[in-house]
Structure 1
């Protein structure tokens, strides 16, 4: 060794020893801020250097740092926000808690009897936040689902204020029973009509779609479940929030009807060949007529709507509260119609001790609805809207004395109906509802991770109906004025008791399990009474004793009970293998003594593929999860006592004496049981580019068996039918949801949400027959005479298949009629129907499927933009491939020759105008035949549903914490080929067998709203 090297060695050793002496050890622990669990593998680096280490399996680390400094440590971990921590002089650190990144995967989603992180869900669950609810001013809570959730079709069956919507989650399962989902409000299942729920009180809405998610609700889960959670109090200084908006509604579309001159010409044409009646008008009289009265414009108006919301929120760690008051007022666009609602909600959460918590949720609501007889009576008593379409435009609204024109003229050339304006203004049809919904719960932690929850709830609903038809309008002339009063009381009480165990056993295993028992009882009673022939209209229905003819009153009482046991286990292995097993047993008083109990299991598995080590190279992926589930759910939505041998009241007159007795009403069926839906689901959740793009896709198959089906019985039994478990229906489909953050910085952001759904429905088995004509043809309405059924249930075809005759144009000449060999008595100008079996005549055997009500696919698209204090939301809704039966057009183009007609009938067939679409004046063949393909219209539409522009004002006061203004337009543009008021319609509401039928439905509106929100 060289001498120089030997001399330098001690110096080098000394320097090394000095360097070692100038460092010190720093140790610490890193935890998850969410559940305080240790985080292994966290990177810990001295800021500004490459010196670092990582935490061990217990989240602990040790790192040498320079002795003469207090460096900053940078801690980072996948899925968590990075954190910087200053090292103290003593070299120790408190436990560091990293917060999970605020991605939607870490959002907590409400599920049946609990909640889960979105990343841990194994089933198909969609969520709508309070912010999304607030984007659109709505009258009903369920309207927010329209076009915003894949797999959910929401139809506004009637646009009348207070009118219902129909919701189908993944298709139509049932034929004779309910298809609406189960609504659960703050844990109370069976909340029913949502008219009394204030949308401004909603915190979130979750839609449970597949059997894995809904099986926890057993016999009520087959049609899906909608969970509504209302706003709770938040810890912090109390806040006051006020919102008000007001707006105007205008009719979106009107029918183009004949004017006075055109209708007079039409009546003359109808009676041109009459040998008994002269033509009603001379040509000179016709020439003096102009446009006449536009009866649609006379009964339709610009209608206002307004809403006022005042809320108080706040609390401490021990006590949190949310109190709100709301008043909503909506006029109907038909005269003398409208809806009002007032609500008070109080939600209270109280921490009694470290182990005991108390939750109180309540709402009191009152609604008042004025209806315009739009669809309440048939025949010549159709309602203001129906009469406005068929009343002669030649007649004025008021006569020379200033009184309402009493009825249609000239008779007998026109239909004998009343003045629609008098009809709307003088008749009364009012409904008042008072409702209270209360749910109370106590939660007690028996041991770490194990919680007992005991809850009780009450839902009380009192409904009163008040109808009066005065004697001085056409409607009441035959009865001398008529009145009806009815009252219905319905209430249910609920008790549920659950044990929940939620424990992260170690870093690789986590368990969440819930078991419980539930009992819910439903009660109801009703009473109604009526009278007519009133000598005065002064008191209306307030004193039925004023009617000379008091009708027999009716009353009833009914009850049913549902008892349940349920359990669910969620197991998480290595944070990437997720298992869910659910079982519920339901016992119902509605079903036969041999089948009181039903059992509804489900199982699901999800694989978080993104958490595998071999996926670390796919840096563009933020999330990737595969889901698979299967389960069985039920449907119990039938009337009470259907399995029992019931009796109805029967009476007859013996001279002047009324004798009353009982008559058998139905056949005993002790084997009656639930409908059963077996469903499988395959899904994928994937996200890209740090969750800027996320996609959820699901494919499903559902088969419903043991349908609660009414089956015809031989007349020798003395009954027309019996309710049996018979037949089956399938639904299969695909859903897709896309969420993207297209641009996002401090000044400007743009986000997009797209959902797409398709469902294919098919009747598989109808028990004793292969097909069954169904569907209401408005048998209680004037147009219904002779139409028969409008739809058919046929094995291999979907529910909602329209059934009728194929239109083949217009017979043009007698030679054409003769050459065809038809045996049907027709003449030139009559409609021609296809002779499907070639027997030379048109009979019921020539009916075919002429349309399908269920759509091919539905979709929704929302784009949200922010720029500075401005925000803009644009929502587009679409339905494709759905047919609509336009019975209004059926009546207004032909059939009834004594009512006004569509403007298209001006171009009707004549010998010199060979139309091939509109028959000759006076042709009644369509009237007496049945529904025809030319009134089955394409109901597809694309609608600019909602546009909202808002602006958040800069802070201008120490008292006012926030303030914003906004304007909203709803139903702004609708692109459709449908010729009626609106393609989104069903005059028979939620009737499964009369889908998409348009007759005398309340017209839809275009709405413009301006509002303000202020926070204190």
Structure 2
């Protein structure tokens, strides 16, 4: 037996060696990492041998391989080379090749042309189609959030289709616009991007400094966002399909009192009031009623839901060398987490490029889209008209959603003990509040090469938006009961047309000199037309607002029309000396009908220089560097966003009644200003671009300084003039900051890869001048929170940033009457009331005690993205952060204070009930907080760190037999807003109930809550 065993050993070894030497056929697929499309023509070679092949049109290959230790080398022009060990399998996992994105010949889109990345003298950031595809987003601006240094994107309204605020390098203006200029396929002034399908985007460029934005002159002060949509590629006919589905859930609801707790609280309020008043009232609830209440109605749970979302995308692209096309169809449907809210978008896009002859090229880009937003009936006016969220927070949990007969309960009870308001569920389900937008965007261009390097481009385009708003409040809900129902319909149409005529000369003159010159003449006109009609006292609730004839009371209709034009001349010269000294000079002249007769034209120059140190001979001795460029720029840009006719004498209607006849008179609406002109922003930028270790580490850093002068400022004037203010060019604001962007390739390989993108930005904003004023009170709140003049929540003060909150310093709770007496305070305060700092020492709390209690603008913002690949698997994790910003939580005034009682947060269970019980929550019937105005205890730290997005995707190997039909396939799951680390007590620290307001920043009142999202999707290429 032992001898037999010994004989088997050499036989087994021989069999193993024979098996190892045998060859087998190995198959695989090669895809582009950017869009997961097949890559034909990729060289696949067995390392150390002459055995090799190339991928076919479907990206697949097959070749003989000997042994399990063989290594395949994949190489393709313009892509990174990768190596993969075969192992024992006959099918290699799909390999994704990454384009050499750090190539010096990369082209980026700039104003009226393109440039090689190595030739840029200004500060320009790019987002590629691959980055857009990483994250399922509803609107393109969302991809900029936390991914581009110097750009702060805030989701001011979290409802589907809700607004965003974008600030590029700070806030420049007080009364004018602060949003960037959007340019879509060369069409400037195209409004926001809500109607644009994100899957159509090829790239997004963000122009930040004057060298990059001065070419847009009077519209470039707030930065420029250039969106380029996809075009077809010659030789590749591709069909792409993508679909995803998901759900949205409330991220963090408020913890409120239940019915038993709130009824007990109401009784305590009334007991305290009875002890302090000579006319006592009965308590709202008897002990027996309280004992029977239980948990009651959770009104937040009643209005919130798990909301579905779906997206379908179908694209066709391809063509020949002469004709290229790209067509896409998209349908997006996102329901809101509040019942009866949501956003839908349907769009079709067609882009064509045609080479008519050797010298003539034609291009055509177009989009038609329709969006419908069902708004969630949230507003900030407070009072009895409230809103769905506001009323759900303050409604008595002891009140049921429906009464005994099955009808919605009408209003809050018991009166007069609770805050008056309507049933939020009825309000959400029965009130109609919709906005439908139909948009067409068209751009046509023809290019003629006059001489080698000299091209004439003639372009024309139009952007048409038709906006229809429908509102209906039936008589069956509290908000419509007093008027017996309300219905309205309004429509507005904005229309702009554009003509651009540019001449470009681009030639390398000799070995050491190259020149690129662009000059042009453009005309653009904007038109706006609107009307509205509304009725009340509805005959029936059956027709909604579809027939306004059902209204017995016709309210005053309205209509209006305005237009403005812009004529421009511009030129830009880019000069390269010895490929390492780069110079850019730009000038634009804008003539606008918006401004006064004495200042119709503005002039906006810029100059920039860059030095490619990496091209010096001495750098060759330092192989650690693969790129090094320093650059500097200075320029002047403008801001004209004030609306039409502001410089002219305007008149307003003054209707009145004589007997039973309605008459209309006219009154002067303003003081004309023929000298009105642009705000002017002078900007300096110094930057450096560095590449290390064969560009495995790329670093970009910028320092900038901006001063905006001649602010379009509403200046107070004596009332004896007949007006309270006049619009002047006066005042100045400063922004300065630092930006850092770092891209690293931590691990590179086909089996495992890891890349990191990090960006960091800080901006310091300061008001320098207010037409000689030292300060002015600004900011909005709600009349139901702060009555009268107490509604101002902020201050503009020379030396301080825009967005400063201004109020009283909270110092705890008065504990005893002795403490009050010893303080000498003369105000009528009681033990259990809030205590505020007497900063002016006059022994009472008045307006002179207010101080700056917070800043809306953050100290710094950042974002970190890590991308991992494991063979066919990939993982992308994006973390976003904001540090040092404050949020004014107006909800807390109602949810912690004791005035006419809305429901309360659970924290009031630890309210002051006697000396030493609480130093943060006042006693149940304290109303001092509301009577005072904004206080420091509700100006909260809005800093947060958020796991914004995490996506896992898997590239499905395509069987060899399907390679001619299905060229690529992948599936993915994504989570958004997964984890948020913050001290903020509201729904979300990223909020502003006043939208893009310049002076009411980071205010949270009745805002649509943020949601957590889970998505699963599939992509297939044919």
- 8 Å contact kept, 2:816–2:915: no
Give the 3-state SS of the residue equivalent to 2:622 in structure 1. coil
1:225, distance to aligned residue in structure 2 (A): 0.2
Query: CA separation of 1:852/1:498 partners in 2, compared to 1, >3 Å: closer, same or farther?
Result: same
Match of 1:488 among 479, 489, 492: 492
Which one of 492, 501, 507 corresponds to residue 503 of structure 1?
507
| TM-fit CA distance, 1:806 | 0.4
Deviation at 1:403, TM superposition (A): 1.5
1:276 lines up with 2:280 in the alignment: yes
Higher alpha-carbon deviation: 622-631 or 284-293: 284-293
Residue 890 of structure 1: SS of its match in structure 2? helix
Runs of 4+ in 1 over 4 A off after TM superposition: 79-82, 781-786
- Aligned pair count reads 922
Deviation at 1:287, TM superposition (A): 2.3
Query: What's the secondary structure of 2:621's corresponding residue?
Result: coil
Deviation at 1:383?
A: 1.0
Unaligned runs of 5+ in 1: 1-47, 49-78, 83-99
The answer to whether the 8 A contact 2:785-2:894 is kept is no
1:645 aligns with 2:649: yes
From 816, 826, 829, the equivalent of 1:826 is 829
Please name the residue that 1:217 is paired with: 216
Q: Is the 8 A contact 1:895 1:927 kept in 2?
A: no
How far apart, CA to CA, are the structure 1 residues paired with 2:182 and 2:518? Answer: 21
Classify the secondary structure of the residue corresponding to 1:237: coil
Which has more radius of gyration? 1
- In structure 1, the partner of 2:1017 is 1011
Structure 1 position 284, deviation (Å): 2.5
Q: What's 2:996 paired with?
A: 990
- Is 2:903 the partner of 1:900? yes
In the TM superposition, residue 658 of structure 1 has moved relative to its aligned partner by 1.0
1:879 maps to what in 2?
Answer: 882
Distance verdict in 2 for CA 1:729–1:260, change over 3 Å: same
| Contact kept in structure 2, 1:459 and 1:492, CA below 8 Å | yes
Partner of 2:968: 962
**How far off is 1:783 after superposition?**
5.2
TM-score under structure 2 length normalisation: 0.89
Task: Report whether the alignment pairs 1:793 with 2:796.
Answer: yes
Report the Cα distance in structure 2 between the residues aligned to 1:783 and 1:390, rounded to whole angstroms. Answer: 16
The corresponding residue for 2:94 is: none
Partner of 1:5: none
Contact 1:777 1:784 in 2 (8 A): no
Distance 1:498 1:550 in 2: 53
What whole-Å deviation, never above 9, does each CA across 1:357-376 have from its counterpart, x for those lacking one? 00000000000111121117
Match of 1:183 in 2: 182
Please show how residues 90-239 of structure 1 align to structure 2 within 5 Å: 103-239=102-238
The Cα shift of 1:649 comes to: 0.9
Further displaced range: 787-796 or 377-386: 377-386
For 2:412 and 2:655, the matched residues in 1 are separated by 38
**Structure 2 CA distance for aligned equivalents of residues 258 and 735 of structure 1:** 45
**Which runs of structure 2 are paired with 1:510-529 in the superposition (5 Å)?**
510-529=514-533
Does structure 1 conserve the Cα–Cα contact (< 8 Å) formed by 2:573 and 2:585?
yes
Determine whether 1:724 maps to 2:728.
yes
Q: Secondary structure at the match of 2:762?
A: strand
SS at match of 1:261: helix
Return the offset for 1:345. 0.2
The SS at the match of 1:1001 is coil
Say if 1:786 and 1:929, in contact at 8 Å, map to a contact too.
no
Specify the SS of the correspondent of 2:406: coil
- Secondary structure in 1 matching 2:383: coil
Residue 890, structure 1, aligned to residue 896, structure 2 = no
Distance, in Å, in 1 between the alignment partners of 2:445 and 2:791 is 53
RMSD: 1.5
Partner of 2:62: none
Q: Distance in 2 between matches of 1:566 and 1:545?
A: 53
The answer to whether residue 481 in structure 2 is matched with residue 472 in structure 1 is: no
Name the residue aligned to 1:326. Answer: 330
Where 1:495 maps in the other structure, the secondary structure is strand
2:261 aligned residue: 262
What is the match of residue 632 of structure 1? 636
CA distance in 1, matches of 2:386, 2:467: 24
- Judging changes above 3 Å, is the alpha-carbon distance between structure 1 residues 594 and 452 closer, same or farther for their aligned structure 2 residues? same
Which stretch shows the higher mean deviation, 482-491 or 889-898? Answer: 889-898
Match of 1:689 among 671, 688, 693: 693
Structural mapping, 1:336-355, within 5 Å: 336-355=340-359
1:571/1:578 contact within 8 Å kept: yes
- Residue 456 of structure 1, CA deviation: 0.2
Equivalent pair of 1:858/1:879 in contact (CA under 8 Å): yes
Q: Deviations over 1:724-763 (max 9, x none)?
A: 0000000000000000000111211110000000000000
Q: Does 1:302 align with 2:276?
A: no
Task: Report the alpha carbon displacement of residue 913 of structure 1 after superposing the two structures with TM.
Answer: 5.4
Contact 1:443 1:453 in 2 (8 A): yes
How far apart are 1:291 and its partner, in Å? Answer: 1.2
CA distance in 1, matches of 2:819, 2:674: 61
Q: Any idea what the Cα deviations from partners look like across 1:350-397, whole Å, max 9, x if unmatched?
A: 000000000000000000111121117542111111100000000111
- Cα pair 2:572 2:587 within 8 Å, conserved: yes
Aligned residue in 2 for 1:747: 751
Counterpart Cα distance in 1 of 2:79 and 2:719: 73
Question: What runs of 5+ residues in structure 2 fail to find an aligned partner?
Answer: 1-47, 49-77, 82-98
Given the alignment of the two structures, is residue 952 of structure 1 paired with residue 955 of structure 2, yes or no?
yes
Judge conservation of contact 1:270–1:897 (CA < 8 Å) in 2. Answer: no
**Counterpart-to-counterpart distance in 1, 2:845 and 2:486:** 43
> TM-score normalized by structure 1?
0.90
Using the alignment, how far apart are the partners of 2:285 and 2:790 within structure 1? Answer: 32
Alpha-carbon separation, structure 1, partners of 2:914 and 2:868 = 60
CA contact (8 A) 1:151 1:170 kept: yes
Structure 1 residue 127 displacement after superposition: 0.2
| Partner of residue 757, structure 1 | 761
Distance 1:241 1:439 in 2: 24
Q: Report what 2:667 is aligned to.
A: 663
* Residue 802 of structure 1 pairs with residue 805 of structure 2: yes
Per-residue deviation, 1:535: 2.0
Q: Which residue of 2 aligns with 1:57?
A: none
Distance in 2 separating the partners of 1:719 and 1:786: 20
Contact 2:806-2:850 within 8 A present in 1 as well: yes
Deviations 1:282-334 (A, max 9, x none): 22322222111110010000000010000000000110000000000000000
C-alpha contact (below 8 Å) 1:892/1:900 kept by paired residues: yes
What residue in structure 2 maps to residue 585 of structure 1?
589
Deviation at 1:234, TM superposition (A): 0.5
User: Offset of 1:891 from its aligned partner?
Assistant: 1.5
Match of 1:974 among 980, 986, 994: 980
Task: Summarize the alignment of residues 602-617 of structure 1 with structure 2, pairs less than 5 Å apart.
Answer: 602-617=606-621
Which of the residues 562, 567, 570 maps onto 1:558? 562
Q: Distance in 1 between matches of 2:899 and 2:301?
A: 23
Partner in structure 1 of residue 926 of structure 2:
923
Distance 1:384 1:320 in 2: 50
Give, in whole Å, the separation in 2 of the partners of 1:586 and 1:977: 47
User: What is the CA-CA distance between 1:195 and the residue it aligns to?
Assistant: 1.0
**3-state SS, counterpart of residue 787 of structure 1:** helix
Aligned to 2:868: 865
Instruction: Give CA-to-partner distance per residue, 1:397-424, whole Å, 9 cap, x none.
Output: 1111122112111111112211110110
Counterpart in the other structure of 1:403 = 407
Q: Secondary structure at the match of 1:582?
A: strand
Change (3 A) 1:751 1:81: closer
Aligned residues of 1:341 and 1:366 also touching (Cα < 8 A): yes
Question: Matched residue of 1:1007: which SS?
Answer: strand
Change (3 A) 1:81 1:869: closer
CA apart distance, 1:784: 5.3
Residues 813 and 834 in structure 2, CA contact (< 8 A), matched pair in contact too: yes
SS at match of 1:616: helix
CA separation in 2, counterparts of 1:462 and 1:557? 14
Task: Using the TM superposition, give the Cα deviation of residue 595 of structure 1 relative to its aligned residue in structure 2, in angstroms.
Answer: 0.2
CA distance in 1, matches of 2:918, 2:1019: 58
